[in-house]
């Protein structure tokens, strides 16, 4: 996949391209990355990229002409690229949107600064507006890095078998179970016994139960949105029956008038 980033701070991406899985994806040829400096597409003496908003008000707006020229230049490098504007008004990034973006032939990320880009750019030069969440950043650069990181790890051949994206949280719509490594005991806490048993079926079952439990306790909304398979349904039914038994016993216990407690 070819990825271009349009920014007035191209240096912010040097460390991003140069570390970890992203670096390996570029070295392995699964990703070709380019950073375009929007300032290089200005045509005035002072290389101005922002201007005052029509109608007054606070802050500055990114001028449309340099941005349009930068987008045209990036498109000339990347056939069939989808242009993505990072903005709080966009669709919220999810694992599903990352999967959709990973299926594209090329992506051009547009990173605004100031109050944002001129609305005519968003209207005519942008295919998709993307937000990484409901909070305000000072620029689209970190947001673009978040989106690119989520996308790049999904590209075929980027992750090795051992770190497969299929193992990740959310790829199956659930939170992950806990992970443990040596030592067997750390600060008085032991690794769950089953993980030392060598019984692969028991381990897989334990992990699935922990994953479901974690999701139920911390993010029940994820469970509501998602169809359950037979094994998951069975686990939840077992818990539901256990809870009902406990609650029934509780209601059978009348408060003891002689206990001295309320
Ligand atoms: N921005 N998700 C860029 C964001 C943002 C977000 C604010 C985008 C500032 C200029 N981008 N403008 N949240 O907060 O993507």
Q: Per residue in 180-213, pLDDT tens?
A: 999 999 999 999 999 999 999 999 999 999 999 9
Given a contact cutoff of 8 angstroms between Cβ atoms, the answer to whether 46 and 101 are in contact is no
Q: How confident is the model at residue 163 (pLDDT cuts 50, 70, 90)?
A: confident
Which residues, in sequence order, are CB contacts of 49 under 8 Å at separation 6+? 8, 38, 39, 42, 62, 63, 66, 113
- Which band of pLDDT confidence, cut at 50, 70 and 90, is reported for residue 262? low
The Å distance, Cα 168 to ligand 1 centre, comes to 26
Report residue 191 as tokens.
Answer: 């690794």
pLDDT at position 251: 83
Report whether residue 258 contacts ligand 1, using a CB cutoff of 6 Å. no
| Annotated catalytic residue 39 | no
Residue 130 phi, psi dihedral angles, 5° rounding: -130, 130
Q: Which pLDDT score, from 0 to 100, does residue 76 have? A: 97
- What pLDDT, on the 0 to 100 scale, is given for residue 71? 98
pLDDT at 162: 79
Whether residue 24 lies in the annotated active site: no
User: Residue 147: pLDDT above 90?
Assistant: yes
Kindly state the average pLDDT of the residues 7-32.
98
More confident residue, 160 or 237: 237
As a whole number of angstroms, the distance between CA 76 and CA 23 comes to 24
> pLDDT tens, 63-96?
999 999 999 999 999 999 999 999 999 999 999 9
Catalytic residue among 88, 149, 192, 209: 88
Catalytic residue among 65, 149, 168, 214: 168
Per-residue model confidence (pLDDT) at position 23: 98
Q: How much is the mean pLDDT over the chain? A: 96
CA of 112 to the centre of ligand 1 (A): 8
Would the CB of 8 count as within 6 Å of ligand 1? no
Q: Residues 95-141: pLDDT tens digits?
A: 999 999 999 999 999 999 999 999 999 999 999 999 999 999 999 99
């Amino acid at each position: 996949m070819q990825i271009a980033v349009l920014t007035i701070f191209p240096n912010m991406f040097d460390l991003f391209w140069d570390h970890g899985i992203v670096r390996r994806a570029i070295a392995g040829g699964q990703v070709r990355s380019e950073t375009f400096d929007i300032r290089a597409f200005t045509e005035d003496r002072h290389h101005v990229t922002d201007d005052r908003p029509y109608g007054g008000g606070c802050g500055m707006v990114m001028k449309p002409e340099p941005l349009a020229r930068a987008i045209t230049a990036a498109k000339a490098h990347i056939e069939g690229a989808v242009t993505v504007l990072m903005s709080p008004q966009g669709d919220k990034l999810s694992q599903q949107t990352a999967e959709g973006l990973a299926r594209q032939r090329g992506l051009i990320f547009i990173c605004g600064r100031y109050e944002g880009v001129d609305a005519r750019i968003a209207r005519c030069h942008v295919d998709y507006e993307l937000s990484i969440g409901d909070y305000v950043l000072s620029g689209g650069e970190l947001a673009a890095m978040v989106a690119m990181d989520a996308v790049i790890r999904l590209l075929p051949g980027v992750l090795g078998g051992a770190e497969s994206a299929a193992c990740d949280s959310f790829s199956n719509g659930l939170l992950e179970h806990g992970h443990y490594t040596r030592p067997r005991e750390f600060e008085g806490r032991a690794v769950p016994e089953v993980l030392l048993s060598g019984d692969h079926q028991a381990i897989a079952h334990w992990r699935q139960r922990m994953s479901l439990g974690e999701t139920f306790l911390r993010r029940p909304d994820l469970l509501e949105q998602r169809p359950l398979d037979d094994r998951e349904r069975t686990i939840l039914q077992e818990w539901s029956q256990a809870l009902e038994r406990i609650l029934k016993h509780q209601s059978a216990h009348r408060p003891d008038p002689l206990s001295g407690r309320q």
